[in-house]
Chains A and B, each alone.
Chain A
């Protein structure tokens, strides 16, 4: 990994994370009125996470079959409302175990 590239990228990330947080606190005193903009902002995280997860999750391990097994386990546990850590750990474990047989 090119270190200069990574450092610049991380600093850029930090800046664009900081700006949305700090700008309203420093500048705005009023609230956003448009319900569409408010709704859009509220829905953004879900749209982002959906787009980040699928279909990339199927290519996230060395083998698409182990990834598929991990995905199914994650979906079932998440549907049952298990915590982030439980879901993530179970998915890792599933991929690891199924990987031993392939």
Chain B
């Protein structure tokens, strides 16, 4: 029995609603951060709408605030977002085969960790109306949260704005630590990565390496050693659990149909 366009779309909307609500506080923090760093309100909203990602746009915006070079900003953002290839690859196995190029280009925009997770949990083929419905709510949630945070930031006192500087890092810790706690490979990878970035930062001969490249080098070494020491065979990070609302955790990357 074929579902109609509207039925599929509405079902997608319904499934996307919890993601949309979960995005608001996170993007709110992004809006606060961006504006307290000197980004205009409209641009913070534009960043959220055009990037629709957490770690990538947080890191990229941080580099913009620091006045980093284009190559560094682009490469850092790209490295962080490379993981989406894996999710999109997995989605291709489930997409409606007859989906047109234009529709594929639109669907690609909405591949976030959460949207991917929800979509990959569905049974059967993923249609365009379903995916549109699923994507549209989170996009609205993400941009609305950013707008609210950006507007409120302008009204905050200075010392509170300074304290906001730690928000992003606090979120990063909240994403990584629960996984690291349960997964020894992740703990080791994070430790290697942090060790490398510290060496590059504090050892004088590496002083000419900029902050963005430090992160890239540390990531490649950390994840690279991790992949060699702890290759994932069953498509799941050892001991990883799903963590709803944690945007970066590539949880539930299961391929089963």
B-binding residues in A (CB < 8 A) = 1, 3, 5-26, 28-29, 31-32, 35-57, 60-62, 66-67, 70-71, 74-75, 77-79, 81-93, 95-96, 99-100
In the assembly, what is the distance between CA of A77 and CA of B57, in Å?
24
Comparing B3-11, B12-20, B77-85, B136-144, the segment that makes contact with chain A is B77-85
B108 pairs with A50, CB closer than 8 A? no
Min CB–CB distance A59 → chain B (angstroms):
9
- Taking a contact as CB atoms under 8 Å apart, the answer to whether A26 and B166 are in contact is no
Q: Do A6 and B64 touch (CB < 8 A)? A: yes
> Which of the residues A41, A61, A82 comes within 8 Å of B174, measured between beta carbons?
A82
Report yes or no: B109 in contact with A50, Cβ–Cβ below 8 A.
Answer: no
Main secondary structure of the interface of A (DSSP, over half): helix
Is there contact, CB below 8 Å, between B226 and A40?
A: yes
| Interfacial chain A residues near B61, Cβ < 8 Å | 13
When chains A and B are docked, how far (Å) is the Cα of A5 from the Cα of B203? 31
Q: Are B166 and A75 in contact (CB under 8 A)?
A: no
Q: Is the CB of B198 within 8 A of A48?
A: no
Known contacts A10-B46, A42-B237, A43-B223; decide if A1 and B39 are in contact (CB<8 Å).
yes
Contacts of A20 in B (CB 8 A): 78, 81-85, 88
Taking the nearest CB of chain A, how far is it from the CB of B181, in angstroms? 6
Cβ-neighbour of A13 out of B40, B47, B196 (below 8 A): B47
**Quick one: given A35-B232, A44-B79, are A9 and B88 in contact (CB under 8 Å)?**
no
B51 within 8 A of A: yes
- How far apart are the CA atoms of A50 and B180 in the complex, in Å? 11
A residues near B83, Cβ cutoff 8 Å: 20, 41-42, 44-45
Chain B residues lying within 8 Å of A26, measured Cβ to Cβ, are: 101, 104-105, 108
The answer to whether A14 and B51 touch across the interface, beta carbons within 8 angstroms, is yes
Identify 26 residue pairs between A and B in the complex whose beta-carbon atoms are under 8 Å apart, listed by A's number. Answer: A6-B39, A10-B46, A13-B50, A13-B51, A16-B74, A16-B78, A17-B57, A25-B88, A29-B92, A36-B231, A37-B227, A42-B83, A42-B250, A50-B190, A50-B191, A50-B218, A52-B172, A53-B172, A55-B194, A57-B166, A61-B163, A61-B166, A71-B166, A78-B176, A81-B178, A95-B165
Check: B159 CB closer than 8 A to any chain A CB: yes
Cβ of A43 and Cβ of B226 under 8 Å apart? Answer: yes
A43 and B93 form a contact (CB under 8 A): no
Known contacts A20-B88, A55-B201; is-contact A70 B166 (Cβ 8 Å): yes
Candidate in B63, B169, B198, B255 with the most chain A CB atoms within 10 angstroms: B169
Q: Is A21 a contact partner of B108 (Cβ separation < 8 A)?
A: yes
Say yes or no for B185: interface residue by CB 8 A criterion. Answer: yes
Residue of B nearest to A70 (CB): B166
Set A17, A52, A62: member contacting B215, Cβ < 8 A: A52
| Contact A42:B88 (CB < 8 A) given known A49-B176, A92-B170 | no
Contact digits for B186-197, partner A, Cβ 8 Å, 1 yes 0 no: 100111111011
